[in-house]
Structure 1
Amino acid sequence: MRRSLALLTALALLTAGAGCASRGDAAAGAEQRVLRYQGAVGTVTLPELAADLGYLDDVSLKWIGNTTSGPQDIQAATTGDVEFGGAFNGAIVKLKAAKAPIQAVIGYYGVNEQVYGGYYVLDGSPVKSARDLIGKKIGMNTLGAHYEAVLKTYLVRNGLSDEEIKKVEPVVVPPVSTEQALRSGQIDVAVLSGTLRDKALEKGGIHPLFTDFELLGAFTAGSYVFRTEFLKKNPTTVRTFVTGVAKAIEWTRTTPREQVIAKYAEILKKRARNEDDSQLKFWKSTGVAGAGGLISDQEFSTWVDWLDRSGELKNGKPALKDVFTNQYNGYKAA
């Protein structure tokens, strides 16, 4: 029995040691300087851009695979599979309200006149107003995130009752298949953005019922989060990361568009993941509203209030100071 206990103890120590190694090889008492994360196919994330530009100093990134959606990405951060993840601010609010130990630290994507999501219908479609959406299918990349929240905001603002809104059916359609699903009549409305929107518009035959920019104006829509425990133990690392990403955001604002696209293409080529870079030519902006990704109260309070009204915050409204912070962002002082 003593031999067995000794073996179990040794195995436990080895497992613990392996766990520490997987979380960045930080020495005892030292801050972790390797951050695991999930990427996106054919896309360069702002942290990846910051790393390539040298803005992360001695903090390095470790890619462990690609995310399937924003909610999945921040779930991975919550469970400790990655150090940080990014998602729509409303999804962050819902996870925080469920007592997840996370906090948003910087905005990373948004909506403006160049970068927006449109709710497209076929030319000649009978869908011409919010009320026409009753009984119709709206295809989007994931549920419980940005586009479902914007859709329901549109329906509420146009006077639909709760019972009528329940009859509008958001359905998940892979982004690469959304345009075809619309054109073949499988869905009535297609949510299209970025490259896929621009390619679809080039073909013609579709037009927007409305867009999130028309509905809500310019705003930062999504943020990166860390676990609160990680923030407490690694404040310098987080400050380096957040400030580096902030610099990358400003670099995209002040650098000619052609040079930004060329840099993204260079990064895709260097990481050698056999990705298609044809969509890069459509890049226009990050859409981030605040300087250096600074987060404003409204960018979270809007979704806190909306989720509360819709009855989705079963544990009450989380305090904004617990949901996000700008304290790690070097642009705060400016």
Structure 2
Amino acid sequence: MRRLLAGLTAGTFLLATAACGSSDGSGSSDASSGGITSVKVGIIPILDVAPIYLGQQKGIYKKHGLKVSMTAAQGGAAIVPGVVSGQFQFGFSNMTSLMIAQTQNVPVQAVVNGVASTGVDGKDFGATVVKKGSPIKSAKDLEGKKVAVNTLKNINDTTVRQSVRKAGGDPSKVKFVELAFDQMPAALDKGEIDAAMAVEPALSTIKSQGGTEIASSYVDVAKDLTVAMYFTSNQYAQKNPAVVKKFKEATEEALKYADDHPDEVRQVLTTYTKIPSTLLPQLILPSWPAEPNLDSVRTLAKLGQEDGIYKSAPDLDKLIP
């Protein structure tokens, strides 16, 4: 198991070292008290996860008998080992990290939708951007350039490459570097990178510095792309089906609440990110549908295979039961 988890990305080493531990959810992290079950959720501190924070704030999870606590990580590739090891009962991960895990026989399964693209070119919550005055005018110009993504050999590699393909360029010539989303604005401004695949709130921060969007890379992959989902380990799901059901139902309710209350989404973002309040009105919110778009995930899987991210085709029936 240690070997499989370590293979997700080099950056997962610290969490992967715990991967041989129990994943049955036993212990205080899943203790029930007064009818309330406490669960830990591994998340990325970005706009995507606003619904779970709103759900906690508005008492949605409590109503469903859950007390959730969130722990931040840089990307889904780091969260997967944490869930399998039992450090978290649930995690938030982009679809590529989950598909990589599935193809490597890491025992995870998706539970409920996480976040989706708006499907609108030029008005999405994630985009490939360059700094003010950059000579890079289109995704084709990224050939030979240094592009930041939050996790290497993952979803944002694929989305950027697809933008380059669509623009008539050679995606194999892009040079990717790993950088946390919140570090992208400064790195771009200093010229340490040529471009970044950024999501909100980093995207609005870069634009406030005069940066320019050159591609809506999630939209380039598929209309209404399912970008990420919440997941658990197979073992935890088998031993705690009632908790998994509660988490699914509560999160679906939280997703709908977020979709219906955009102003509250912007406000809750200030509780777990460092975004200046002056940028809140400029944020482009994603879509939070209750159900994943499986056709879009199949497209993402196919492109990932072309890029050599998977050694074999992901089994989506097993991953998204």
CA deviations over 1:4-58 (Å, ceiling 9, x no partner): xxxxxxxxxxx99xx832441369xxx9932122345587643332233232221
What is the match of residue 55 of structure 1? 60
Amino acid at match of 1:208: E
Q: d(CA) in 1 for partners of 2:178 and 2:228?
A: 20
Higher CA-based Rg: 1
Q: d(CA) in 2 for partners of 1:59 and 1:246?
A: 14
Asked if the contact 1:24/1:32 (under 8 Å) is kept, the reply is: no
Find 1:37's aligned residue among 41, 45, 69: 41
Asked if the contact 1:32/1:237 (under 8 Å) is kept, the reply is: no
Change (3 A) 1:209 1:103: same
- 2:171 counterpart of 1:165: yes
Asked if the contact 2:50/2:269 (under 8 Å) is kept, the reply is: no
- Note the residue ranges of structure 1 that are not aligned, 5 or more in a row: 1-14, 326-334
Q: Which moved more, 1:207-216 or 1:121-130?
A: 121-130
Q: d(CA) in 1 for partners of 2:190 and 2:56?
A: 42
What is the match of residue 9 of structure 1? none
Q: CA deviation at 1:83?
A: 0.8
- Note the residue ranges of structure 2 that are not aligned, 5 or more in a row: 1-20
Amino acid at match of 2:235: E
Q: d(CA) in 2 for partners of 1:202 and 1:220?
A: 27
Change (3 A) 1:132 1:110: same
Q: CA deviation at 1:223?
A: 0.5
Amino acid at match of 1:59: L
Q: d(CA) in 1 for partners of 2:149 and 2:268?
A: 29
Asked if the contact 2:30/2:39 (under 8 Å) is kept, the reply is: yes
Asked if the contact 2:36/2:67 (under 8 Å) is kept, the reply is: no
Q: CA deviation at 1:97?
A: 0.5
Q: d(CA) in 1 for partners of 2:140 and 2:72?
A: 38
Q: d(CA) in 2 for partners of 1:23 and 1:202?
A: 40
What is the match of residue 80 of structure 2? 74
Q: Please tell me the root mean square deviation across aligned C-alpha atoms, in Å.
A: 3.0
Q: d(CA) in 2 for partners of 1:198 and 1:124?
A: 17
What is the match of residue 296 of structure 2? 299
Change (3 A) 1:277 1:211: closer
Provide the TM-score with structure 1 as the length reference.
0.75
Number of matched pairs: 289
Q: CA deviation at 1:260?
A: 4.0
Asked if the contact 2:103/2:315 (under 8 Å) is kept, the reply is: no
